[in-house]
Structure 1
Amino acid sequence: MSLDLAVIGGTGLYRFPGLENIEKRAIDTPFGAPSADIVLGDFRGKRVAFLARHGENHTIAPHRVNYRANLWALHELGAQRVIGINAVGGIRVDMGPRVIAVPDQIVDYTHGRFTSFCDVEGVEVKHIDFSEPYSLSLRQALVLAASNADISVVPDGVYGATQGPRLETRAEIARMRIDGCDLVGMTGMPEAALARELELDYACVALVANWAAGCGDQTEVSLPEIYANLEAVTAQVPSLIAALLALKQ
């Protein structure tokens, strides 16, 4: 059975429930080792790959994730479509805790990360069109799948990618709001750009864990509340992926 889809799990999603006939692959890449072994399994009659972005025990901080190795390994295994699951904070008024969003744009505030496969001496520089950072067809499929599965999603949004691992200040979020950001997360870039360089269809499923600093009605960010929200919203991911796989390609 050929590989149908790859899912990259973020904070709160370290294993993919429901995978059968599981095998683990340790992939060596020109850029080092991925965050964890790639888990291959059958899910609703399709072959799916799963990778825990932060490692199986959340031991890798956002700025230390080997994004190049992760995407290269999935590509090498034959993945053509990749879904990035990202825990985020909400800025826009309809992006409160436990909301699921499928963003359509990115603003990148990260620094010091390897952002391209061209960051190697002697490799030809590849310029990519990144006007639309997520694959439109895959985004549309996710929104349709959510509707079919009776899962409420916000079908757009601007993802602001910050460095982490600390959360942002109120002033930083205020600036991001002025910049047009609706969501804030730490792992959206360079993952999306690297996927584009490899010509992979890539989209983000953003799981809102909390209001960003100074947003909503919260006065401070509560980590226990973040994890409770993540647990609740992450529980919908398998149903969303199942509905996506059920769509005719």
Structure 2
Amino acid sequence: MLGIIGGSGLTQLANLDVSHREVVRTPYGEPSGPLTFGRINGHDVVFIARHGYGHTIPPHLVNYRANIHALETSGVTQIVSVASVGGIRGDLGPGALVVPHQIIDYTWGREMTFQSGGDGPVIHVDFTDPYDAEVRQLLLDVSRRIGEPVIDGAVYATTQGPRLETAAEINRMEDDGADIVGMTGMPEAGLARELELPYAALCVVANWAAGRADSRHGIKFESLEAVLQEAMVRVRRIIEGICEK
């Protein structure tokens, strides 16, 4: 069963034939909201809005552990995470869709692991390649098949939020090798890996990162909504395409 985590711009799946919603309790507290169960093209899908269905939960306060645990206990076998990001690399401007292949984690103070200590031996999880290769390839193959341009590969810098970054911080991230910047890539990907849930991300570039192109002197928030609305139509087409396989 496919799990979809919706980010900014995707608080619901309009193409989901909803069967029911379920409040799921977890040992790690409350998820961001009820899980929405339904079907797309006859394929079982579970959806959760990362920031809540009213987009009220800031990135540093998302209960990532509860969200991932709730999806896993509900029978999800693979996860596609949808997230909006800022573009750093020159070919990643507003409206671009990208499937990242690597992560740099700049967050702090978040609950990063299901391991609480004292309940068994420490388990080290390999995170060399943070995204599942098969789910990444599925996103890329489906996008090509339906004719949606999607960029293969980017390094996702995950920042703490909720404030956006300074131009100097973006310069530093670029020097570190980052191509896009967002606030929700971690610990979500790491938690999915701990539960052995195949996980990959489909990112929408909503704006140029601070200090880049038309964001050189500030982020133009008034243009973000239109970019996200258009891009999320394409994201929904890709999700529909996944469910045709």
Q: TM range, normalised to the smaller chain?
A: over 0.9
User: Quick one: distance in 2 between partners of 1:150 and 1:40?
Assistant: 28
Q: Establish whether residue 17 from structure 1 lines up as the match of residue 14 from structure 2.
A: yes
Give the C-alpha shift of residue 33 in structure 1.
Answer: 0.8
Q: Which one is further off, 211-220 or 131-140? A: 211-220
1:6 corresponding residue in structure 2:
3
Give the C-alpha shift of residue 123 in structure 1.
Answer: 4.7
User: Quick one: distance in 2 between partners of 1:121 and 1:64?
Assistant: 25
Give the C-alpha shift of residue 216 in structure 1.
Answer: 2.3
Give the C-alpha shift of residue 8 in structure 1.
Answer: 0.2
1:182 corresponding residue in structure 2:
179
Give the C-alpha shift of residue 236 in structure 1.
Answer: 1.0
Does the 8 Å contact 2:206/2:228 carry over to 1?
yes
1:68 corresponding residue in structure 2:
65
Counterpart of 2:211 (choices 210, 214, 217) is 214
Does the 8 Å contact 2:18/2:36 carry over to 1?
no
1:229 corresponding residue in structure 2:
227
1:242 corresponding residue in structure 2:
240
Q: Which one is further off, 218-227 or 145-154? A: 218-227
Does the 8 Å contact 1:106/1:160 carry over to 2?
yes
User: Quick one: distance in 1 between partners of 2:42 and 2:166?
Assistant: 45
Q: How does 1:82-231 map to 2 (within 5 A)?
A: 82-119=79-116, 121-218=118-215, 219-231=217-229
RMSD: 1.0
User: Quick one: distance in 1 between partners of 2:35 and 2:140?
Assistant: 26
Identity of aligned residues (%): 45
Structure 1 pair 60/121, CA: closer, same or farther in 2 (3 Å)? Answer: farther
Structure 2 stretches of 5 or more lacking a match? none
* Counterpart residue type for residue 164 of structure 1: G
Give the C-alpha shift of residue 242 in structure 1.
Answer: 1.3
Secondary structure, counterpart of 1:203 in structure 2: strand
User: TM-score by structure 2 length?
Assistant: 0.97
User: Quick one: distance in 2 between partners of 1:22 and 1:100?
Assistant: 29
Q: Establish whether residue 53 from structure 1 lines up as the match of residue 16 from structure 2.
A: no
Q: Which one is further off, 234-243 or 175-184? A: 234-243
Give the C-alpha shift of residue 121 in structure 1.
Answer: 4.5
Secondary structure, counterpart of 2:186 in structure 1: coil
* Counterpart residue type for residue 40 of structure 1: F
Secondary structure, counterpart of 1:246 in structure 2: coil
Give the C-alpha shift of residue 227 in structure 1.
Answer: 1.7
Query: May I ask how many residue pairs the two structures share in their alignment?
Result: 244
User: Quick one: distance in 2 between partners of 1:82 and 1:221?
Assistant: 30
Give the C-alpha shift of residue 168 in structure 1.
Answer: 0.3
Secondary structure, counterpart of 1:132 in structure 2: coil
1:29 corresponding residue in structure 2:
26
* Counterpart residue type for residue 91 of structure 1: I
User: Quick one: distance in 2 between partners of 1:101 and 1:172?
Assistant: 22
Structure 1 residue ranges (4+ consecutive) displaced by more than 4 angstroms after TM superposition:
none
